Amino acid sequence: MIRENMGGTNLLDALLRPRSIAILGASDDPTRIGGRPLAYLKAAGYAGRIFPVNPKRETVQGLPAWPSIDAVPESVEFAILAVPAALIIEAARACGERGVKACVVFSAGFAEAGPEGEARQAELLAVARTYGMRIVGPNCLGLFNATDGFYPVFSTSLDRGLPPKGRLSIVSQSGAFGTHLYWLAKERGLGMRYFISTGNECDVHVAECLRALAEDPGTGVIMAYLESAKDGPMLVEALETARRNGKPVAIMKVGRSEVGAEAARSHTAALAGADAAYDAVLRQYGAVRARTTEELVDIAHICSHGVFPRGDRIGLVSISGGIGVLMADAASDAGLDVAPMPEATQARLKEALPFASPRNPVDITAQAFNDFGLVESNLKLMAEEGGYDGIVVGFSSVAGSPVFAEPLLAALGNVRRSHPETLLIHSCLVPDALRLRFEAAGVPVFPDPSHAVEAFAAAARFGRAFAREERPAPVLPAPADIPRRPLGEHEAKRLLAEAGVPVPAERLTGSAGEAVEAFRAMGGRKVVMKLVSPDIPHKTEIGGVLLSLADEEAVRAGYATLVERAALHAPQARLDGILVTPMLEGGVEMIMGVQVDPVFGPLVMLGLGGVFVEVMKDVTLRLAPFGEEEAMAMIGELRGRALLEGARGQAPADVAALAKALAALSRFAAANAGAIESVDVNPFRVLPKGQGAVALDALVVPRRS
Amino acid sequence: MIRENMGGTNLLDALLRPRSIAILGASDDPTRIGGRPLAYLKAAGYAGRIFPVNPKRETVQGLPAWPSIDAVPESVEFAILAVPAALIIEAARACGERGVKACVVFSAGFAEAGPEGEARQAELLAVARTYGMRIVGPNCLGLFNATDGFYPVFSTSLDRGLPPKGRLSIVSQSGAFGTHLYWLAKERGLGMRYFISTGNECDVHVAECLRALAEDPGTGVIMAYLESAKDGPMLVEALETARRNGKPVAIMKVGRSEVGAEAARSHTAALAGADAAYDAVLRQYGAVRARTTEELVDIAHICSHGVFPRGDRIGLVSISGGIGVLMADAASDAGLDVAPMPEATQARLKEALPFASPRNPVDITAQAFNDFGLVESNLKLMAEEGGYDGIVVGFSSVAGSPVFAEPLLAALGNVRRSHPETLLIHSCLVPDALRLRFEAAGVPVFPDPSHAVEAFAAAARFGRAFAREERPAPVLPAPADIPRRPLGEHEAKRLLAEAGVPVPAERLTGSAGEAVEAFRAMGGRKVVMKLVSPDIPHKTEIGGVLLSLADEEAVRAGYATLVERAALHAPQARLDGILVTPMLEGGVEMIMGVQVDPVFGPLVMLGLGGVFVEVMKDVTLRLAPFGEEEAMAMIGELRGRALLEGARGQAPADVAALAKALAALSRFAAANAGAIESVDVNPFRVLPKGQGAVALDALVVPRRS
């Protein structure tokens, strides 16, 4: 029976679908850590074999007990290790010897508890590897499979009843947090499939579980809680798998703030990586990150209905102008399109309901409640003629009135059935039993009108991500030959130019004569001259940049001046030469950069230059490599993007050239991730439309070997 | 009995505490609009006299009916007009003749329904004024007084039971929205005092009600819903009264977004004023504005416990690191201070609980649940030694476990009693009955940990507002003599200088000789020369500004150039002369301005100059006049304030001079509100600390008469 409902990977087979379980440290007391799992297994009617191990007892909770796992007469696929930390290694080894495929370790006292615990955890992992046995934990709450009644978990929340079965799976680094989420989901009426708390993650970690859940046919929605990812690339792979399989991943990553990140570090003792990197990766790979647990469960809740709109056109309906306006505010905040109804449709609506506001938000007024046929026909009109991807109706407490509840339920249910592609959401204040009847009719209920709108926005974000065509992976250039020493501006620009990032047509010169020749070659236009030395990274500080040199005399004198300044201020510096470059004016200054994140690898940063980056922190990130389409999306995320569109009377900037350069930089970053620490292209000047863009300065910092 | 519980103003006496009520259009059917109020009055045991008026019946719902209000044999203090719109004027007049002090008009078909309805509404108001009778509505849901069982209201939400009595009062422009709020409050267990829906506000409006509620001893917390204020100054007065009386006002003002504001306009047909003006006024006068209905009720809920912390130092406690980190993120978002525990206290906590993280967020670990004395003693340690203004404990579903609930209730209750000044909040997932027991013990429950933290932040905002010392009203200058015609830069600067806004030591000159003399008088420093003409507001566009003139020849030539350009590009313009002004460099460019809002009057705007204002919309507003302390608060609200603090290697700017100028501008705006439309001081250059600040350009637009 257990094997019937398979699917997904071997990991889920080993962890959640074994045919037998041993409980080391099994207790007769069903409220103790060693007793709870057995009580739950029995209550859930687990169909596999159960072997309590307890040398001091004949039976445990009515089942025959065994003195050790060696004494168990049949094969054991899964084991719970509910013994003190000091006994865990021995217990794990015994399990390995018996051919156990996976175990869960509840005990604390490992990596979270100082150097001694760390050593113990390393030993535990070594034992697991020796026997090819998977380990969940240590220091974890356990896991469960609600579909098959498999409950190796000691959460007290199950005291209040086992979860209803369903298609929601939860994976969480924190047992308490995972339980919190499970509890909230249960209150909403969401049925569970799998629950995994990963604890210290000595072996099995969140990303691996996510990847397996993304392949599990029985899982419809995934909720995840994360403090830090043990394996960044696998997290990316998991998210991409989920997206490709149309499985929404709603995720809580804590540690957004400095104080939060610090607390998270002290909590997990894990290498956390930059929160901004997580944020970028989650957005890039189609997961939706929540800020609060309520929001997280809202997302799982809306996704449980399986309707993922492809667009963000939202219709809003109320019987009270105020709630309509509130929802319009929320839709605007969420970046949704509160498009007006077509004029003709507005006219037809007005015909039926003369006092209505038919535009959008549509106020059908309490009048519509005299004839629920009108509610139904108007919603259908909106779905058919308004072209809305979703409709939120906000009927508040009126929907719960004994007089109105039944006809409203029928009306909304009919609309849902006749327009299954339109995500219909009902915001109302109704008793729980009635709420569940709306849900059963396929109409999700969100009491708060603003949250109803935000839930639509989340579903539409998944819809867009699921609909995204497979983009061919960018073709990476061959790795560049990057020396493990500081690089001068000219070298950095050469590397970037070879990768496709445009740089000015400039010349490195070794004498005043060469400089004048370069000036002539540039057609006699004004030039800029710069000291180039790997030993002088901040050349402006010693007067190492001269602007607006307009004739040969000035260029010749400029050469001498720069060499003098170098000799005076940085006598030890190796001089690569003097760079002569055309002076460019106009356009918009941007910053592009690369940072190699310890968890995810090379991330590309884009920001508007100057005060925007430094004071407003107006930047956006993506994992490298990516194409120009993604680069355009990055540009669109900048708060100050109006500056590129021609604010302040300027010409619109060449954003296509910017996107092309950004994608090229991302390919360079990906191809050379092992050889670099960071890249700074600052400023990167984006010229008016059609005129391209150029890196005015660049810094490549090779990785310290 | 009704009069016993008095207090507040005559408005509340007339509207909510009458000794008798007539119902015109009373229905025998308790589900009809004319029947519901009578059913509620009876159910609530209203102690006053009730006179149903219905010419077609002998009795209505068991009470003797009267053919008309004239026929009622006793005095009538209040009347419900539940008759069709066409009969309202006549009914109101009859009420006026009978000496009715106030009535409520349920009917629609007034100002919301086009010109005819507008005329009818104007007539209704005229009738009310004739008789000195107050009117609530028309087009409203009614009102109620839960304390005294007075229910002139037809909300269907009361079908599900009358509200519990308490100290929450609600005033709302929308009946449906008000009901929504009431329902949410009831679900939280908040008891009601007064409910007023104001509808079309032909007479009684939200601000007037707010002012009365702010004086009502029986009201502890006020929730308000607003689309637009009919009387801006009265709203300000109401908020200031509430603040002075220590009554929190939680407010929802919809129409934040453009699409929302448009919908609000079409809904109310009222002059809306700028949403930003409301936002500024609410912040300035100590109300807290909510974004969602849930947030609004969260605020009312936390306020119902009557603890308003003076500071924003928050202690966070969990038995799971994850929830602690989540709360730390939320606290950081809300601008709270997650200060670490004192070292010594951390050591003592560690002694009792070796596995705890004692810093803040404090993770006491599940171990503490073995001995609830530890939970209690640790919370007391935090309250006493941590100096926290509030503590949020996040125990999630564990708090609802049958094993832990009772001892936890006792522990938290003890902490609450021993430290009544510390706002103790419990975030947990527990059954309703248990939740209400925590509430009754003085420990508010917020299931979502982030919302618990946000609730503390709201309470602390009220705490700060309540604690604010009365600031003396700024002394206004005499109104300036502002002509009703366009003003030149020089005139504008003179007006501002007289008001205390610093301008450069500059001279308006009428000849090249005078210009040279001015240059000399400025010590031969570089100067700027500008065309000054009321007819050339954008002088840079015609080359009317010359920079960096460094010698007498240049000044003389510059004079000629400017006069030529004026003659060439604006031959009809009247020339006031050429302004010679010292060239100032360095410092930070700001924008200051004044706009006279149709609802609130003169609002002063502050923003960082250039791209910050235009692209990032980084501005803040205050109602004029205000002092330098408030001006400093405005500066602190700018996202780009780091620029004033010395970002990008600059010297810190003279913010004291900026604050002084801003306060002076606000006094000028208040003193001349009737004579001006707007003022622009752009740029306003703030020099390095100690060097002051100056208005480099200024535009005063007088009001068109």
Give the number of other CB atoms < 10 A from CB of residue B410: 14
Whether the link from the prior residue into A447 is cis, omega within 30° of 0, is: no
Answer whether A509 touches B (CB < 8 Å).
no
- Is there a contact between B255 and A403 if contact means CB atoms under 8 Å apart? no
> Residue B611: is its pLDDT beyond 80?
no
- Amino acid A364: pLDDT: 87
Report helix angle A206-214 to A232-244, nearest 10. 20
Q: Which CATH number is correct for A314-457, 3.40.50.970, 1.20.200.10, 3.30.365.10, 3.40.50.261?
A: 3.40.50.261
Q: Which residues of A touch B318 (CB under 8 A)?
A: 176
Q: What's the rounded Cα separation, in Å, for the pair A364 and A352? A: 10
* Residues forming CATH 3.40.50.261 domain(s) in chain B: 163-304, 314-465
> Residue A267: is its pLDDT beyond 70?
no
Answer whether A409 touches B (CB < 8 Å).
no
Q: For residues A558 and A516, is the Cβ–Cβ distance under 8 A?
A: no
The two structure tokens encoding residue B197: 């829906």
Contacts with B11 (C-beta within 8 Å, 6 or more apart), sequence order: B134, B204, B208, B209, B212
Decide which of A307 and A402 is more confident: A307
Q: For a pLDDT cut of 70, what percent of chain A falls above it?
A: 96
Answer whether A267 touches B (CB < 8 Å).
yes
> Residue A291: is its pLDDT beyond 90?
yes
Residue A266 confidence class, pLDDT cut points 50, 70, 90: low
> Residue B705: is its pLDDT beyond 70?
no
What residue spans of A255-371 are helical by DSSP H? 258-268, 275-284, 293-303, 321-333, 343-352
The pairing of beta strand A143-145 with beta strand A192-197: antiparallel
> Residue A8: is its pLDDT beyond 70?
no
Please state which CATH number belongs to domain B1-139: 3.40.50.720
Give the model confidence (pLDDT) of B118-132 as tens digits: 999 999 999 999 999
Q: Which CATH number is correct for A1-137, 3.20.20.70, 3.40.1160.10, 1.10.3470.10, 3.40.50.720?
A: 3.40.50.720
Decide which of A399 and B578 is more confident: B578
What residue spans of B88-158 are helical by DSSP H? 88-97, 115-131
Q: How far apart are the first and last CA of chain A?
A: 55
- Is there a contact between A263 and B359 if contact means CB atoms under 8 Å apart? yes
- Amino acid A264: pLDDT: 66
For the residues A323-337, what does the mean pLDDT come to? 95
Q: What's the rounded Cα separation, in Å, for the pair B605 and B595? A: 8
The two structure tokens encoding residue B416: 């609450």
Answer whether B449 touches A (CB < 8 Å).
yes
> Residue A5: is its pLDDT beyond 70?
no
- Amino acid B327: pLDDT: 96
Residue A6 confidence class, pLDDT cut points 50, 70, 90: very low
Residue of B nearest to A172 (CA): B322
Is residue A160 left, alpha or beta, with left meaning phi > 0 and alpha meaning psi from -120 to 50?
alpha
Residue that is written with structure tokens 């980190």 in the block: B325
Kindly report the nearest CA distance between residue B25 and chain A, in angstroms: 19
Q: Which among B260, B615, B639 is the nearest to A325, CB-wise?
A: B260
Max CA-CA distance within chain B?
102
For the residues A369-398, what does the mean pLDDT come to? 90
For the residues B651-670, what does the mean pLDDT come to? 96
- Is there a contact between A183 and B450 if contact means CB atoms under 8 Å apart? no
The two structure tokens encoding residue A251: 């995720």
The two structure tokens encoding residue B159: 């079908």
What residue spans of B386-441 are helical by DSSP H? 405-418, 432-440
* Residues forming CATH 3.40.50.261 domain(s) in chain A: 163-304, 314-457
User: Domain B163-304 sits in which CATH superfamily?
Assistant: Succinyl-CoA synthetase domains (3.40.50.261)
Kindly report the nearest CA distance between residue B268 and chain A, in angstroms: 8
The two structure tokens encoding residue B414: 């003890």
Give the model confidence (pLDDT) of A642-662 as tens digits: 889 887 677 899 999 999 999
Q: What's the rounded Cα separation, in Å, for the pair A9 and A24? A: 26
- Amino acid A271: pLDDT: 41
Q: Would you identify the CATH topology of the domain B314-465? A: Rossmann fold (3.40.50)
Residues 660-699 of A with CB under 8 A from B: none
- Which architecture characterizes domain A588-702 according to CATH? 2-Layer Sandwich (3.30)
- Amino acid A292: pLDDT: 96
Kindly report the nearest CA distance between residue A695 and chain B, in angstroms: 21
Decide which of B272 and B514 is more confident: B514
Give the model confidence (pLDDT) of A541-587 as tens digits: 888 999 989 999 999 999 999 999 999 888 888 888 999 999 888 88
Q: What's the rounded Cα separation, in Å, for the pair B609 and A648? A: 12
User: Domain A505-582 sits in which CATH superfamily?
Assistant: ATP-grasp fold, A domain (3.30.1490.20)
> Residue B8: is its pLDDT beyond 60?
no
Give the model confidence (pLDDT) of B548-591 as tens digits: 899 999 999 999 999 999 998 888 888 889 999 998 888 899 99
Residue of A nearest to B359 (CA): A263
* Residues forming CATH 3.40.50.720 domain(s) in chain A: 1-137
* Residues forming CATH 3.40.50.720 domain(s) in chain B: 1-139
Sort B674 into a burial class: Cβ within 10 Å, 0-12 / 13-18 / 19+: exposed
Q: Which residues of B touch A293 (CB under 8 A)?
A: 326, 448-450
Q: Which among B254, B357, B647 is the nearest to A267, CB-wise?
A: B357
Residue B266 confidence class, pLDDT cut points 50, 70, 90: low
The two structure tokens encoding residue A535: 């030993």
The two structure tokens encoding residue B298: 């969260």
- Amino acid B320: pLDDT: 80
The two structure tokens encoding residue B268: 């109310």
CA angle B544, B548, B552 (to 5 degrees): 95
Q: Which residues of B touch A251 (CB under 8 A)?
A: none
Q: What's the rounded Cα separation, in Å, for the pair A632 and A652? A: 15
* Residues forming CATH 3.30.1490.20 domain(s) in chain A: 505-582
For the residues A155-177, what does the mean pLDDT come to? 93
Question: DSSP of B205-238, one letter per residue?
Answer: -HHHHHHHHHT-TT--EEEEEES--S-HHHHHHH
ipTM: 0.89
What amino acid is encoded at A207 in this protein? A
Q: Which residues of A touch B612 (CB under 8 A)?
A: 611
For the residues A581-603, what does the mean pLDDT come to? 90
- Is there a contact between A397 and B183 if contact means CB atoms under 8 Å apart? yes
The two structure tokens encoding residue B287: 């109300």
Residues 616-635 of A with CB under 8 A from B: 616, 618
Q: Which of B164, B162, B145, B156 is nearest to B30 (CA)?
A: B156
Residue B2 confidence class, pLDDT cut points 50, 70, 90: very low
Answer whether B29 touches A (CB < 8 Å).
no
> Residue A4: is its pLDDT beyond 90?
no
Q: For residues A557 and A502, is the Cβ–Cβ distance under 8 A?
A: no
Residue that is written with structure tokens 């929190």 in the block: B248
Kindly report the nearest CA distance between residue B252 and chain A, in angstroms: 9
